[in-house]
Amino acid sequence: MQVFVVVPTFDEASNITAVCEQIRAHLPDAETIVVDDGSPDGTADVARAAADRLGRITVLERSGKTGLGAAYRAGFAEAIARGADICIQIDADLSHDPAVLPALVANIEHGADLAIGSRYVPGGLTVDWPWARRALSRWGNRYAAGVLGLAVNDATAGLRAYSVEALGRMRFDTVGAEGYGFQVEMTHRLVRAGGRIVEFPITFRERASGTSKMSKRIIGEAFSLVARLWLEDRRGRRQRRRRGG
């Protein structure tokens, strides 16, 4: 199966070369798409230098910072147009270890629609995050899964593989959320579309270098998104009941 790895970047000049090299080392046959939002630190130039040296790396350079969701949508669309069977997403800051990529691929090859590298299944770990950030992530995930009835422990995880067939079925191109909200909305869509999800444990580490792009706005968006999706689900259930009787 043809695998594409989508790497969103904003100001990751200090990490992107190592990420590209490690993706190549662990998935030698995969294509990599770096989606950069015009990073002021010149990430796109650094990524292009890696592409010239390593090959099979495409840099999609966008003019401004339009957010993580838009970057993934553009990366997936490019991958699908070029014949992808499996789309992987991985952060550029080395929080996710590219050594687990073959396991992500194997899960899709064995029939999963979505494979999640999860911090919150037995064996999963978060290393070097301050306790407040760990608590926000852990309880944010409990909130999202509890309210939406998702049997998923790490719905905000950014290390994932999707089968392209499932991406089409869930109409990923109409998912509007950004940041963590994008991961939650994608997970919710897949569950509602009857997709099969596999979670396996990973160790998530604080970013290797560079600065965080997480903001209060992104966290707030994720929380209100969960409420919106819950309302949509409730409306859908009522309409189905009305139609049925």
The residues that touch Mg ion, with contacts defined as CB under 5 A, are 91, 93, 95, 207
Q: How far is the CB of 25 from Mg ion (least distance, A)?
A: 21
Minimum separation from the CB atom of position 141 to ligand GTP (A):
13
Could you say which residues in the range 25-64 bind ligand GTP, by CB under 6 A?
A: 35-37
CA 232, 236, 174 angle in degrees (round to 5)? 55
Closest C-alpha to 218, from 179, 186, 175 = 179
Return the residue of 24, 30, 50, 93 that touches ligand GTP, per CB under 6 A.
93
Binding flag, residue 65, ligand GTP (CB under 6 A): yes
- Candidate residues 212, 241, 243, 244; the one interacting with ligand GTP per rule CB under 6 A: 212
Among 32, 67, 84, 118, binds ligand GTP (CB under 6 A): 67
CB closer to Mg ion, 157 vs 166:
157
Q: What angle do CA 62, 173, 18 make, to 5 degrees?
A: 45
State which residue, 68 or 116, has the beta carbon closest to ligand GTP: 68
DSSP string across 157-179: -S-EEEEHHHHHHTTGGG----H
Residue 78, contacted partner among Mg ion, ligand GTP, none, CB below 5-8 A by kind: none
* Closest by CA position to 4, among listed 72, 99, 96, 93: 72
Question: Do 185 and 175 form a contact (C-beta atoms < 8 A)?
Answer: yes
Contact 141, 120 (CB under 8 A): yes
